[in-house]
Amino acid sequence: MILKPDTIINKHIGHIITKIEENGFKIVGLKLIRMSRKDAEKFYEVHKERPFYNDLCNYMSSGPVIVGVLEAENAVQKWRDLIGATDPKEAKEGTIRKLYATNKEANAVHGSDSVENAKKEISYFFSERELSSD
């Protein structure tokens, strides 16, 4: 998961972390970073041909983000359910994006769309020694 620049700017970090814990996730890795434009381009490479790619890379490299690894039964789907639709206007009540997103681009959080992509994304930001499942 990633808490995007708008989450940091709008001081919603604590609210979202609380929501994560209240929904049964265990945080096994967490750190504040600043993605460079090249980092964002590589991370979102899967979207390279999409019309929003350039704006997304600019946005994600515009300020600090918090990257994290969450653990739970069926974690990818559970996280996607908790964060809600990409567009906060379409997100269900009580979801993170409904509560904290500004708009479709500044939508508070990132979530992997599959277990396979989650593994790639985790290894992009974390080494094994930085994760604690204890």
110 is catalytic: yes
Query: Residue 128 corresponds to which tokens in the numbers above?
Result: 């094994």
Catalytic residue among 12, 15, 47, 110: 110
- The answer to whether 27 touches 132, Cβ cutoff 8 Å, is no
Quickly state the pLDDT bin for 134 (edges 50, 70, 90). confident
Pairing type for strands 26-33 and 65-71 reads antiparallel
For residue range 78-111, list pLDDT tens digits in order: 999 999 999 999 999 999 999 999 999 999 999 9
User: Which residues are CB-neighbours of 47 under 8 A, at least 6 positions away?
Assistant: 53, 56
What the chain holds in terms of domains, given with CATH numbers, is: 2-130 (3.30.70.141)
Query: Does residue 133 carry a pLDDT above 90?
Result: no
Rounded CA separation 19/49 (Å): 33
This prediction has a pTM of 0.94
